[in-house]
Amino acid sequence: MGAGVPKQFLPFLGKPLLCYAVEAFIKALPDCQIILVVPSDHLSSVQIVLRTFLGNTGVQLVAGGETRFHSVQNGLKLVKNDGVVFVHDAARPLINTSLILRCFAQAREKGSAIPVVPVSESIRMVEGNNHSKPLNRDHLRLVQTPQTFKTELILPAFNRDYRPEFTDEASVVEANGGTVNLIEGEFDNIKITTSIDLIIAEALLKVRK
């Protein structure tokens, strides 16, 4: 983003971006345990953000790691009870109650719920410098969060060493023999990656309100 701070802390319609995801889960599941994984050098500033914008939410903070895998692994160490775990990107501020509850229901029934949306554009795989080939987009899906699992699947899956192919939680659970069950995501559950995404998210949120 070129902003000098992690994108989760960027101001977005009056409050830091990360506040929106926290609020969404509190609204959907008021009794849920929220564990916020943040860069170690931002722990104190996040505490101030939470107190200022969300009050006493009971959110637990833990330092992140070198990769997404290590950050999730650190967060899972605070999960002590059996239940359902959501892993969600703070950079997806438009997550809503409907998707959270649908993921929750399917994970309870099937063990996992990974939200995906169809690919609408043509896709090509690049092979070397001068060759590429088209891929059948009918067989492709874009993966979103919250990636949702029963604790009996995700906790033992992360009790292992990191591998480069572990790009998300589903890949870790699958490598441990678990089944990944997809669920229909939502196109407005976008991830803030560039400054243009902030403009799009702001427009979507204003329309939603």
Q: Summarize the confidence of residues 173-181 as an average pLDDT.
A: 97
Higher per-residue confidence, 208 vs 35: 35
Helix (H) or strand (E) holding 46, with range, is helix 43-54
Give the three-state DSSP class for 51. Answer: helix
pLDDT greater than 80 at residue 158: yes
Q: List, in order of start, the domains of the chain with CATH numbers.
A: 7-208 (3.90.550.10)
Residue 166 pLDDT class (50, 70, 90 cuts): very high
pLDDT greater than 80 at residue 2: no
State the pLDDT at residue 3: 58
Q: Cβ distance 113 to 153 under 8 Å?
A: no
State the pLDDT at residue 4: 64
Q: What is the 3-state secondary structure (H, E, C) of 129-198?
A: CCCEEEECHHHCEEECCCEEEEHHHHHHHCCCCCCCCCCCHHHHHHHCCCCCCEEECCCCCCCCCCHHHH
With pLDDT > 70 as the criterion, what percentage of the chain qualifies?
A: 97
As given in the structure block, the two tokens for residue 81 are 């009870």
pTM for the full model? 0.93
d(CA 75, CA 36): 7
pLDDT greater than 80 at residue 5: no
State the pLDDT at residue 72: 98
With pLDDT > 90 as the criterion, what percentage of the chain qualifies?
A: 84
For the stretch 45-97, pLDDT in tens is 899 999 999 987 789 999 999 999 999 999 999 999 999 999 999 999 999 99
Q: Summarize the confidence of residues 126-138 as an average pLDDT.
A: 90
